[in-house]
Amino acid sequence: MSSNALAAAALRDQRARWPAAIGLLLASMVCLLCLDASGKWLGGQGVPVAFTTWARYSGHLALVLLIFVPRLGLRKLLHTSSPKLQATRGVLMLTVTLLYFAALKTMPLAQATAIFYLTPVLAVFMAWAFLHEKVPLRAWLSLLLGFAGVLLVVRPGMMQDQPLPLLGVLLVLMAAIGNASYQTLTRARNFSDAAPTQVLYAAATGCVVLTLSMPFWFERFAAPPLVVVVLIGTGVLGMLGHWLLTHAFALAPAAVLSPWMFSQLLLSIALGWAIFGQAPDQIALIGMALVALTPWLARRS
């Protein structure tokens, strides 16, 4: 068989995996948005943001250890080529979670998701500024498009039926910047660690930091059975969502998967309306559509 025929066969094999990758990505989006909705609901029940975040990372860590220690062994699972980098990434992820959960206490799920959706575009800017990567004109135009979309969602200084709180908007923007920094840091060096090891350290960092600092932030709150169930569910949803996302990108390139991430915004609208009775108006929907296009444009440039 000629080299061209072998290349064509390999491409067919790759494309045959794309539907499965898209399915994994959509399942990941469902898990992560249900995690966001859980965090918002728990905030409304009086659960402190720090405790929700602690439950999310503790449950995540417990599941990783339960699933992967029997398969890989604890020593192999803990082995990392760059412990400082793993710790820094873990602290960034923890900070992003705290900021985002705090923002969700004050603003609708759909609008928060739209603003946070700027993460891939901010990562393009950071790659240019800090990693000195070449950024084509099309990517810069996507930055402007995303900024315009966020302005339509937030509409500072303009009349809305329910104006978005400035603090909530700033918290989501800070979370998006932190998430883009997390992605940029990952790209700054070649990661040789296996996916289970990366998932382990991301969960362990948040769990350890919050457990050690618990005397400074813990406060009593009501914990009826449903609240306990949802708290446990945050760890399951977080671990499962990130694991599905990792496998999706292992089966298909980002250019194939990125357009499907628009489903995250659509689902956020549905969950926000079904659970919290919050739905964005028409102008905000247009802004969310613009924001959804920006990662696709940036990645295809």
**What's residue 69's pLDDT?**
92
**Residue 65 to residues 122, 239, 249, 252, 260, Cα–Cα distance (Å):** 33, 11, 23, 27, 31
Return left, alpha or beta for 4; rule: phi > 0 is left, psi -120 to 50 is alpha, else beta. Answer: alpha
How distant, in Å, are the alpha carbons of 26, 27, 139 from that of 245? 9, 8, 24
If you ran DSSP here, which 8-state letter would residue 221 be given? -
Domain extent listing, the chain: 24-300
190 — alpha (psi -120 to 50), left (phi > 0) or beta? beta
Give the Cα-Cα-Cα angle 262, 162, 43 (nearest 5 degrees): 70
Task: Give the per-residue pLDDT at 157.
Answer: 47
Phi-psi region of 22 (alpha: psi -120 to 50; beta: other; left: phi over 0): alpha
The predicted model scores a pTM of: 0.80
Q: What are the Cα distances from residue 204, in Å, to 46, 210, 221, 293?
A: 25, 10, 25, 34
As a whole number of angstroms, the distance between CA 26 and CA 31 comes to 9
3-state DSSP of 92-153: HHHHHHHHHHHHHCCCCHHHHHHHHCCHHHHHHHHHHHHCCCCCCHHHHHHHHHHHHHHHHH
User: Given this model, what pLDDT does residue 83 score?
Assistant: 85
Q: How many CB atoms lie within 10 A of CB 279?
A: 14
At position 261, the amino acid (one-letter code) is M
pLDDT of residue 113: 84
Reference 33, options 246, 202, 247, 270; nearest CA is: 270
pLDDT of residue 159: 45
Amino acid of residue 53 = T
Q: How many CA atoms lie within 13 A of 91 on its CB side?
A: 8
Tokens matching residue 260: 């499907």
- Tokens describing residue 233: 């569910």
- Tens digit of pLDDT per residue, the chain (301 long)? 566 665 566 557 777 888 888 888 889 889 989 999 999 999 999 999 999 999 999 999 999 999 999 998 988 888 888 888 888 888 999 999 999 999 998 888 888 888 887 777 787 778 778 777 776 777 677 777 777 877 777 665 444 556 678 888 899 999 999 988 887 776 655 556 777 888 888 889 999 999 999 999 998 888 899 999 999 999 999 988 888 877 787 787 665 676 676 677 778 888 888 888 887 878 878 887 887 777 666 555 5
Residue type at position 292: A
- Contact yes or no for 246/199 (Cβ under 8 A): yes
Tokens 């618990």 identify what position?
Answer: 214
Contact 176, 118 (CB under 8 A): yes
| Distance, C-alpha 118 to centroid of its chain | 11
16 by Cβ neighbours in 10 Å (0-12 / 13-18 / 19+) ranks as: exposed
Residue 249 per-residue DSSP state:
H
